[in-house]
Amino acid sequence: MKFADNLKLIRQQRKMTQTAVAEKLHVARQTVSSWENERSYPDIGMLVKISEVYGLSVDQLLKGDLGMLKHYETQTALGKRGQRTLRNGYYLMVPALFLNYLGNFLHWQGGLVVMVDLFLMMIVLTLIFQYPDFKRWVATPRQRWGLVAIIVMVGTLNLALSLPVSLVAVPGNVGNVAAYELGRASGLIVGAFIRIFIRTIAFVLAVEIPFQRRKTE
């Protein structure tokens, strides 16, 4: 029997709705539906949670589905490599974020600022592409609104820290300055907004990744 069919049969035998299962697993009902219709598969950690909810072993859930067994073998190999990347990236991102804020308060300028910004940007992009569990961050309306609140709060803080410094470079009287100076000021403002965006994402990742890990342990 295929894993999806077995998963649906077990749920029906337990007389549980997809909504009830989703609430116990802290996922959306559509996620449970996609598992039962073979549109997606739960990861290994979620598979263990499903087995606990239904009171069965993982082997009983898989029911000899060779395709699923191969899928999880591949996922395990990729997962170990991905976890190392995530762990190393996270431990690099936190001090890079600290240096980014420190540079703002100490008014660092020139190449050092650019290096720190680029380094932080590369780490953030790596974590975004490697992190597999973003859907769990917004599985419920409460989680979604909580994440929005964090992003708005941190984004506002970063806006207050970065933008005034860049606005100082904007000419007061555009008619009396060269086009070069106006372009330079515009570049500083664009750079400030990019820095605000990267800082905000990095701060959210720094807070949410360990928080989500504790929830799944």
pTM, 2 dp: 0.53
pLDDT value for 15: 92
Q: At what angle do helices 179-216 and 111-130 cross, to 10 degrees?
A: 40
pLDDT value for 68: 67
Whether the per-residue pLDDT at 58 is higher than 60: the answer is yes
Whether the per-residue pLDDT at 171 is higher than 60: the answer is no
Task: Quote the Cα angle for 43-22-206, to 5°.
Answer: 60
Task: Provide the Cα torsion 25, 201, 94, 166; round to 10°.
Answer: -160
pLDDT band for 19, please (50, 70, 90 cuts): very high
pLDDT value for 177: 52
Domains in the chain, CATH or no CATH each: 3-64 (1.10.260.40), 82-216 (no CATH)
